Amino acid sequence: MMSPFKKIALIGKYKNTEIAAPLLSLAEYLVRRNFDVVLDELSASQISSDKYQAVTLEEIGQEADLAVVIGGDGTMLNIARRLVSYDVPLIGVNQGRLGFLTDLSIDTMLETFGAILEGQYVTERRMLLFAEVVRNENSSFNALAFNDVVIYRGISSGMIEFEIRINDEYVYSLRSDGLIVATPTGSTAYALSSGGPILHPSLDLIALVPVCPHILSNRPIVVGPEARVEILMHGIADVRVNCDSHSSFDLEQADKIVVQRFPRTVRLLHSTSHSYYRMLREKLGWSEFP
């Protein structure tokens, strides 16, 4: 069977010396099967071989038929944000701890890839969020988030005070340690530890999860994909907004944070045996009795 892929890009976790061996092993396997293999330039700088062409992430987006990310979920989050506009399908190989996004095992990746390369895979589309800080009616900051947009306080001991509007309608005012605006992907990250719901990745939904709210009736709420979430800052001291624990910005009084769905989606490929519910059982220990 002819493979749907020709040029395959390999991307490893940055500054991880343990990534060289599995990266080279996968590259050699793909070359033996007559695929055109390229490495992203940061990964190429960490291995001793010069057999493979080193390219930028932008070149991967423009030229590759498939990108394989070896590392943890943090690596996948970064690569997904960088490549989302190119619609390159991504496969994640887990070398981290939990591996919600990088679901293939590094120990069995070669046999799993054999089936995927022959077209035996399932495709999953996942949404991202676009966050923007509006200050004095001007855009002061913007970033993409695959997991979540988080408003949080720094070393200040006081609570944050803000109000939330959805599609220009006032929803509630809140005093808390912060607020998490999460995608279904991010619902199993910080939002989960803060009491938020788990959202199946096939759903295009946005979860708003207060962090330690002063009033216990301020519960998480879930809104649709067309929601435009506005957070207006009131009582504020040493407060920041953070996107995927990657891009952050210091907030000021009367800043407005606007969060909405990004128009493009990330395309993830899984083996045909992939099960989201099995993954949850394994990662969250649901199969064990307390």
The answer to whether 138 touches 286, Cβ cutoff 8 Å, is no
In the numeric block, which tokens belong to residue 19?
């990534």
Q: Please give the pLDDT value at position 1.
A: 56
Q: Measured between alpha carbons, how far is 157 from 143 in angstroms, rounded to an integer? A: 27
Q: Measured between alpha carbons, how far is 269 from 27 in angstroms, rounded to an integer? A: 18
Q: Measured between alpha carbons, how far is 205 from 195 in angstroms, rounded to an integer? A: 17
Q: Measured between alpha carbons, how far is 251 from 117 in angstroms, rounded to an integer? A: 46
Question: Between residues 41 and 155, which one has the greater pLDDT?
Answer: 41
3-state secondary structure of 233: strand
Average of per-residue pLDDT across 94-123:
85
For the annotated catalytic residues, the residue numbers are 73
Q: Among candidates 234, 226, 180, 220, which has minimal Cα distance to 204?
A: 226
Structural domains present in the chain: 7-119 (3.40.50.10330), 128-263 (2.60.200.30)
In this predicted structure, the answer to whether residue 96 has a pLDDT above a threshold of 70 is no
Q: Please give the pLDDT value at position 107.
A: 84
In the numeric block, which tokens belong to residue 226?
């067309």
In the numeric block, which tokens belong to residue 174?
């809140």
The contacts of residue 56 (CB under 8 Å, 6+ apart) are: 40, 41
Q: pLDDT of 140-186, one tens digit each?
A: 999 999 999 999 988 776 889 999 999 999 999 999 999 999 999 99
- When the pLDDT of each residue in the chain is averaged and rounded to a whole number, the result is 92
In 71-127, which residue ranges form alpha helices assigned H by DSSP? 73-83, 109-117
Q: Record the pTM.
A: 0.93
Average of per-residue pLDDT across 255-278:
95
Average of per-residue pLDDT across 116-144:
96
